A and B are shown apart, each in its own frame.
Chain A
Amino acid sequence: MDAYTPHTAADPVEFYGTQVNSRLLLGTAQYPSPAILAEAIRASAAEIVTVSLRRESGAAKAGQSEPGKALAGQSFWQLIRDLGVKVLPNTAGCKTVKEAVTTAEMARELFDTPWIKLEVIGEDDTLQPDVFGLVEAARILTRDGFQVFPYTTDDLIVADKLLAAGCEVLMPWGAPIGSGRGLNNPYGLRSMRAHFPRVPLVVDAGVGLPSHAAAAMEFGYDAVLLNTAVAKAGDPVKMARAFALAIEAGREGFRADPMEARDMAAPSTPVMGQAHFG
């Protein structure tokens, strides 16, 4: 299949001073094979991929002072690096501040990037962020030179505290991770956009369909991050491309300054000057 190519003039988005043209951030877990993952990334033209670093990757073994380096030669990581995309490592599955900070440090060593998608999970069934731990971990990591992409809720006060902790990007959830339910709280997401007009906002998690991603972009969000919706589709490559198209459509729709919805019909053809019969 042809890779997706944007139809519009360059419309880059900036995260921590780094410009990218694609507004789709793609997760790398759960694909049928690394080959299909690579093809999906190419088909979507995504420039940023998230990578989850499970701590069991041998890093915690006693006596290994440089766990990241011990992993660096391993095939899967090499394959990701070979894709030539920017890697946004994440702290998926971490439940405590300490765990998240340790994982972030490992990721920085392994991928040689200050970027970290910060997840501090509060509860297993909803994988809801523990926003208190999140703010604390964000503060620690920012102080340590990380550029933090926090996975958060649509709570405005939490967002404020994350910004105060040094975050320059916010990533509110659409719905629980992996649920595919779309944008559960459109009002909350819109008001977040309105409150933080200049902070790059990324809808992260819960997106199931291309139309969900298009809706987020129509709200004026800067990008969408997703994984399961593509990885677990019957044809991940086709779905990756579908999301890229939807995100472009939503973004263009937003930039085109859409009409306001109204309660009553408004004729789309002019009535003035029409001939009167009878």
Chain B
Amino acid sequence: MSDPITLDHDEAATARAANAMRVTIVGAGVAGLTCAHAFAQRGAQVTVIERKSGSGQGCSWYAGGMLAPWCERESAEPLVAELGFESLDYWRREVPGVPAEGSLVLAQARDLPDLKRFSRRTEGYEWIDGARLGELEPDLAGRFEQGLFFPTEAHLEPRKALAALTGRLVSEYGVTFRYQSDVSSEVYDPASSSAPVDDEADVVLDCRGLAARDVLADLRGVKGEMLVLYSTEISLKRPVRMLHPRIPVYIVPRGDGHFMIGATSIENDERGRVTGRSLLELLSAVYALHPAFGEAEVVEIGADVRPAFPDNLPRIRRRGRTILVNGFYRHGFLLAPALARRAAELAFDGTHFPEVMDEDRREW
């Protein structure tokens, strides 16, 4: 082959493309798209196959989009926070409109023990009083005496973020998207080294979320329900978590008067159905945060099922030339970029990541 330096630009690009790793990614949720980015950045020629009609329309559609590793540290394993910091940097670097306003954790006076407990389990916060809360969020002035402020955290709008990422993948990296493609187990056989999903692919990435349960026996579904409210009577700059012994909720401001309220967490893999009880609980909790939410318009209610392994930690597994990236549980946006980078380094460099690879098969 000719020395690439002597070729003109177009020829060099053609030569690169000819030698590029060909990668087929199944699933255009947050896992698939961040993987597409990580592989494309390394020069791979990437095709994304998705059964829905667009990007991010599965579980990612209903995500809160909080980039809050310190807050998650309260109940999640330290690994989630570690991966979360990496992902927080990624989103702020790669996607426009990721406000780094921090996050707030509040509790009603009767639930102060929960706030104290929360504070003991994590770091990266300051205790704030009612006056400081009023400075941070004027509309919450006088409503709470104490709270925790995590200044380094951020949040994003999942749907916009994934649309932006999809746009970049197409325009900057020439990634091909094939929507409404059948990716059921009949056409996709990860156990086979010649998976018929794409005979030309060097690597197949399975980013199907819960649908990958046909090949990941220990994957389970954890249902989450959410709603979107619209109100012009209140504005918030940052996500607020309201602690409650039974009904913890969070409110993520989405801009233009929209607020995402989430999310239940139910050991159940039923998609779609939102119950009266869940709605009642989410709404009562958010009403307790501010009565303006009682007058808000209900714009959307939704539910989907998060994929999780028994320890609620993410995994990268290999089956022949297929790499499976899954098990993000409640932390899709917080984990995906960190897992995507690892998946790419595994494929390109053979790097082993014991923290997320529980099946130790170092040979490639």
Binding site for B on A (CB under 8 A): 32-36, 38, 54, 56-58, 61, 71, 74-76, 79, 178, 232, 234
**B266: shortest Cβ distance to chain A, in Å?**
7
A178 & B267 in contact (Cβ 8 Å cutoff): no
Bound together, the chains give a CA A216 to CA B352 distance in angstroms of: 51
B273 & A76 in contact (Cβ 8 Å cutoff): no
Confirm or deny: B22 has a beta carbon within 8 angstroms of a beta carbon on chain A.
no
On whether A75 and B221 interact (CB within 8 A), knowing A38-B310, A57-B268, the answer reads yes
Bound together, the chains give a CA A79 to CA B273 distance in angstroms of: 24
Residues of A within 8 A of B269 (CB): 74-75
A33 & B221 in contact (Cβ 8 Å cutoff): no
B311 & A35 in contact (Cβ 8 Å cutoff): yes
B220 & A32 in contact (Cβ 8 Å cutoff): no
Confirm or deny: B75 has a beta carbon within 8 angstroms of a beta carbon on chain A.
yes
Within 8 A of A (CB), among B253-272: 266-270
B277 & A56 in contact (Cβ 8 Å cutoff): yes
Confirm or deny: B312 has a beta carbon within 8 angstroms of a beta carbon on chain A.
yes
A58 & B273 in contact (Cβ 8 Å cutoff): yes
B310 & A34 in contact (Cβ 8 Å cutoff): yes
Q: A-B pairs with CB below 8 Å: how many?
A: 54
Our pick among B75, B245, B311 for the contact of A178 (Cβ within 8 Å) is B245
What bracket does the count of chain B residues touching chain A fall in? 20 to 34
On whether A61 and B310 interact (CB within 8 A), knowing A56-B278, A75-B220, the answer reads no
B275 & A56 in contact (Cβ 8 Å cutoff): yes
A33 & B310 in contact (Cβ 8 Å cutoff): yes
Given contacts A32-B76, A232-B117, 16 further A-B contacts (CB under 8 A): A32-B312, A33-B310, A33-B311, A33-B312, A33-B313, A34-B312, A35-B312, A38-B310, A54-B266, A56-B268, A56-B275, A57-B268, A58-B268, A61-B273, A74-B221, A74-B268
**A67: shortest Cβ distance to chain B, in Å?**
12
Residues of B within 8 A of A38 (CB): 310
User: Which of A56, A178, A232 has most chain B Cβ within 10 Å?
Assistant: A56
Residues of B within 8 A of A54 (CB): 266, 268
Residues of B within 8 A of A58 (CB): 268, 270, 273
Flag B66-82 by CB within 8 Å of A: 1 or 0 each: 00000000011100000
Residues of A within 8 A of B268 (CB): 54, 56-58, 71, 74, 76
**B284: shortest Cβ distance to chain A, in Å?**
10
Confirm or deny: B121 has a beta carbon within 8 angstroms of a beta carbon on chain A.
yes
Bound together, the chains give a CA A54 to CA B313 distance in angstroms of: 25
User: Which of A58, A75, A178 has most chain B Cβ within 10 Å?
Assistant: A75
B266 & A56 in contact (Cβ 8 Å cutoff): yes
Residues of A within 8 A of B267 (CB): 34, 74-76
Residues of A within 8 A of B75 (CB): 32
Flag B201-240 by CB within 8 Å of A: 1 or 0 each: 0000000000000000001110000000000000000000
B77 & A32 in contact (Cβ 8 Å cutoff): yes
14 example contacts (A-B, Cβ-Cβ < 8 A) are as follows A35-B310, A35-B312, A56-B268, A56-B275, A56-B278, A57-B266, A61-B273, A74-B267, A74-B268, A75-B220, A75-B269, A76-B267, A79-B220, A234-B120
A79 & B117 in contact (Cβ 8 Å cutoff): no
Bound together, the chains give a CA A230 to CA B76 distance in angstroms of: 16
| Chain B residue at minimal CB-CB distance from A79 | B310
Bound together, the chains give a CA A126 to CA B57 distance in angstroms of: 41
Residues of A within 8 A of B117 (CB): 232
Bound together, the chains give a CA A29 to CA B313 distance in angstroms of: 18
Bound together, the chains give a CA A47 to CA B148 distance in angstroms of: 40
Residues of B within 8 A of A79 (CB): 220, 310
Flag B308-330 by CB within 8 Å of A: 1 or 0 each: 10111100000000000000000
**A217: shortest Cβ distance to chain B, in Å?**
26
Bound together, the chains give a CA A56 to CA B275 distance in angstroms of: 7
| Chain B residue at minimal CB-CB distance from A124 | B246
| Chain B residue at minimal CB-CB distance from A34 | B310
6 tightest CB-CB pairs across the interface, nearest first?
Answer: A75-B220, A76-B267, A35-B311, A33-B312, A58-B270, A35-B310
Bound together, the chains give a CA A234 to CA B118 distance in angstroms of: 10
| Chain A residue at minimal CB-CB distance from B77 | A32
A76 & B312 in contact (Cβ 8 Å cutoff): no
Residues of B within 8 A of A35 (CB): 310-312
| Chain B residue at minimal CB-CB distance from A70 | B270
A36 & B311 in contact (Cβ 8 Å cutoff): yes
Bound together, the chains give a CA A268 to CA B278 distance in angstroms of: 61
Bound together, the chains give a CA A145 to CA B275 distance in angstroms of: 31
Residues of A within 8 A of B76 (CB): 32
Bound together, the chains give a CA A34 to CA B268 distance in angstroms of: 13
Residues of A within 8 A of B121 (CB): 234
Residues of A within 8 A of B312 (CB): 32-35
